[in-house]
Amino acid sequence: MNRYLDIKPEVAEAIAANRPVVALESTIISHGMPYPQNVETALAVEKIIRDCGAVPATIAVIGGRLKAGLTPEEIEYFGKKGQAIAKASRRDLAVLCARGEDGATTVTTTMIIAHMAGIHVFATGGVGGVHRGAETTMDISADLEELASTPVMVVCAGCKSILDLGLTLEYLETHGVPVIGYGTEILPAFYTRESEFRVDYRMDAPEEIARAFRVKNEMGLRGGMLVTNPIPQEYSMDAAVINKAIDQAVEEAKEKGIHGKAATPFLLARIKDLTGGDSLDSNIQLVFNNARLAAGIAKAYCAEG
């Protein structure tokens, strides 16, 4: 085992016994929501995963230690400290560990640490991708490169609609990452169930998804798999409303010179303000929905093995 990695005993026991485990990121706690809603949501997601028959493993860096599974006290610590915690991508892990500092894991670093621990399935809200205007800025999320190289399945509500969805799909195709639509042929766009783009494959059962991922791993094909799970209909936002808010937020970010790591937190916070908080409510519900699906896939994956 990696000497910088601490696996929570409950998580380690489940992995050793081939019982289902679902990884969760910690950026959503520190940077995604205000306190105490961030802590309440994180604990609620963990409860949903337990209720679905799997073990949750929230991932983070605390005091220079890579953590696969947090205690409620550690989740509370993350929630209170909030954006004072560094947002950690692949390039940051070694420095954070060397300095003994904290780090909130993105999709990228959650995948890395989950893979180190032996966790195959990860539930999140939405993944990063190719930002609008990337043909000149080269602003492309490290999430995509990680999906291309690390064998962890990511269950999400699609690519964040602040991105260029078409270019994001092109990037994933080039790097051999299959994009699965759970019960849909259309790529969901985070806050809304639909977009103008199509996924690679539609699959209607967790067992089918788990089987495809196990075969991929047994064939020795590198990289992960992206499972897109549409937000429940009752929480889906009107496309015209959310797209107007996104366009305004993107323009404001451009005017302020906000890019890179700072872009997504700024855009999500601004969109929340512009939609009167509706986008945050939708964000929470889609995370819950993804946790349920990820637990089902993790159970099916263990049954396959």
List the domain boundaries for the chain: 1-119, 125-305
Q: What distance in Å separates the CA atoms of residue 85 and residue 171, rounded to the nearest whole number?
A: 30
The low-confidence residues of the chain, meaning pLDDT below 50, are none
CA 167 from chain centre, in angstroms, equals 19
The pLDDT, as a whole number, for residue 277 is 66
Please indicate whether the domains covering 1-119 and 125-305 agree at the CATH topology level: yes
pLDDT in tens, 11-35: 999 999 999 999 999 999 998 888 9
Fold classification of 125-305 (topology level): Indigoidine synthase fold (3.40.1790)
256 is catalytic: no
Domain 1-119 top-level CATH class = alpha beta
Catalytic residue among 25, 46, 76, 146: 25
Residue 261, pLDDT score: 66
Catalytic residue list contains 252? no
Residue 274 one-letter amino acid: L
pLDDT one-digit tens code per residue, 236-269: 887 788 778 878 887 888 888 887 667 777 877 7
pTM for this model (two decimals): 0.91
The one catalytic residue in 8, 67, 87, 160 is 160
